[in-house]
A and B are shown apart, each in its own frame.
Chain A
């Protein structure tokens, strides 16, 4: 059974935050081709055999490691591993950025850290509250590790906790065992610096955009920005905060200095900066323009959903699963402008 990307509404059988109910348009990027490799791997491995195996990570910059999440929905085979996760190793300590889609995936991420260093994981940072990013927190809980997140994160996570856990149990079965909702205790309202020894992470909390609890993490030593889901590549962005806020955040990200590459929440392990913003900026700006036009023309929610941003259909994976809801979210936000 397929899972919700964000497990947004429990037993919700609707998109987006939705299962991939459609095979996708023939003209779209071939999801099957992209998924083929991962699916085959899942069949060979199997969840049980892989439970303690370190997640495969790529060193995208010196001391900066990234697990590349699959463009799938959460399953027992991938343990919810559908988002990019990472860690940065300093001379004194390690920081993990996003803990994964389940405690099991979090443990595999921790095993990947342990392959590289024996230094303590002093911080585990959630870029936002969505389950594919924050449900691995339990794997890092302990006296040495502080969970870090946006000031709004505990509220957002709490409001969705039951839904997320129920969704994970449904989608992962036994592999969901040990997963619990753990909210950060070190909260960021504006900016925060974390010293890993010899390198500093600069955390920035953003106004409502992808969600209302988005946090970015910049490794200043290498200019690597962990953008969380403020940056989507390949997989269609999903709006769960504010469309206007997200467009503003993209402009704000462009003004940030010292960034050389980005680790997107979904997409390749590392991408060029600021080019990586172009696709989602184009898509979100199009939704904004066309939804405003639909509202100005007196079109209904249904009419807007049927027409807005359709020209983007061949450019994104999972477009059919998420675009309708994105437009509905945009419409109900913009009608209050």
Chain B
């Protein structure tokens, strides 16, 4: 797999630059552009992609890649999320560290037109498995990034967690990490300046717990404004969840939270 999100965007764009027509299924070309000749087996026995069939907001489409622990062929090491018909189809690559309790991952994506959303899981031995869901939504990549641009600027880079206070020692706990960032797609128009708002997006997110790597995310413009990642880990007696995010302009944002939450 290419290492950087930017490379993935490029690869995917090149894949689409051919004579493909709008009604053609881009997946076969995408698959070989992203994963090369490696076979990608049907993973539907143990994984599925969940998203609302008709999105209520094309710029904020919640997606969960859910795994059934009982039937997995091995430990999941990475999950690649592909919004097939987006201009930058690879929305994110999630690399799962040793501390991840359950590989089920959630996020929110932009959807530019009716499309399949594929998830490809890579197991420890390098085997690839996939699942997909069809989503009806359009216009998500060019929709204005923020309803309240002043707020977005003022709070750039703030991080939050959700459901962390419910995390129990020794129990796999699902939490969300939220990063306040417009994740400008480069497809949003600023007609006052007569130009497109330059792409500026969260490129990497690293999450760890007490020094153990949980998650590394490579993101791009197909992730929604204020990117979200939902994952699970098992807290120990006392520890600290920490996150570092970098955007494509090189800005670095960090956050850290004691887990379990101290009074």
Residues of A at the B interface (CB closer than 8 Å) are: 8-16, 154-156, 158-163, 181, 208, 211-212, 240-242, 245, 295, 298, 300-302, 305, 324-325, 327-329, 332, 335-336
Residues of A within 8 A of B54 (CB): 14
Q: Are A211 and B147 in contact, with the CB atoms below 8 A?
A: yes
Shortest Cβ distance from residue B260 to the other chain A in the assembled complex, whole angstroms: 15
Q: Are B147 and A208 in contact, with the CB atoms below 8 A?
A: yes
Smallest CB gap from A212: residue in B: B148
Q: Are A11 and B147 in contact, with the CB atoms below 8 A?
A: no
Q: Are A329 and B57 in contact, with the CB atoms below 8 A?
A: yes
Tell whether A161 pairs with B189 under 8 Å between CB atoms, given A301-B62, A332-B60. Answer: yes
Residues of A within 8 A of B137 (CB): 12-14
Residues of B within 8 A of A16 (CB): 56
Partner among B56, B113, B190 whose Cβ is within 8 Å of the Cβ of A159: B190
Q: Are A13 and B138 in contact, with the CB atoms below 8 A?
A: yes
Tell whether A12 pairs with B148 under 8 Å between CB atoms, given A154-B192, A301-B108, A302-B62. Answer: no
Q: Is B136 an interface residue (CB 8 A)?
A: yes
Q: Are A158 and B160 in contact, with the CB atoms below 8 A?
A: no
Partner among B56, B163, B192 whose Cβ is within 8 Å of the Cβ of A328: B56
Residues of B within 8 A of A211 (CB): 147
Smallest CB gap from B50: residue in A: A302
Q: Is B239 an interface residue (CB 8 A)?
A: no
Partner among A9, A305, A336 whose Cβ is within 8 Å of the Cβ of B160: A336
**What are 7 pairs between A and B in contact, CB < 8 Å?**
A9-B139, A14-B56, A14-B137, A14-B138, A155-B149, A158-B189, A336-B155
Shortest Cβ distance from residue B49 to the other chain A in the assembled complex, whole angstroms: 13
> 1/0 per position for B71-97, CB-CB distance to A under 8 A?
000000000000000000000000000
Q: Are A336 and B226 in contact, with the CB atoms below 8 A?
A: yes
Given contact pairs A8-B139, A13-B136, A300-B106, enumerate 4 new A-B contacts (beta carbons under 8 Å): A13-B114, A13-B138, A155-B192, A158-B192
Residues of A within 8 A of B147 (CB): 208, 211-212, 240-242, 329
Q: Are A159 and B58 in contact, with the CB atoms below 8 A?
A: no
Shortest Cβ distance from residue A6 to the other chain B in the assembled complex, whole angstroms: 11
Shortest Cβ distance from residue B34 to the other chain A in the assembled complex, whole angstroms: 26
Q: Is B31 an interface residue (CB 8 A)?
A: no
Partner among A12, A240, A298 whose Cβ is within 8 Å of the Cβ of B162: A298
What CA separation (Å) do A319 and B80 show in the bound complex?
36
Q: Is B235 an interface residue (CB 8 A)?
A: no
> 1/0 per position for B52-75, CB-CB distance to A under 8 A?
101111111010000000000000
Smallest CB gap from A245: residue in B: B148
Q: Is B14 an interface residue (CB 8 A)?
A: no
What CA separation (Å) do A8 and B139 show in the bound complex?
9
What CA separation (Å) do A173 and B63 show in the bound complex?
36
Q: Are A12 and B138 in contact, with the CB atoms below 8 A?
A: yes
What CA separation (Å) do A245 and B148 show in the bound complex?
11
Q: Are B140 and A9 in contact, with the CB atoms below 8 A?
A: yes
Contacting residues of chain B (139-180) with chain A, CB-CB under 8 angstroms? 139-140, 142-144, 147-151, 155, 158, 160, 162-163, 166, 178, 180
Residues of A within 8 A of B142 (CB): 9-10, 162-163
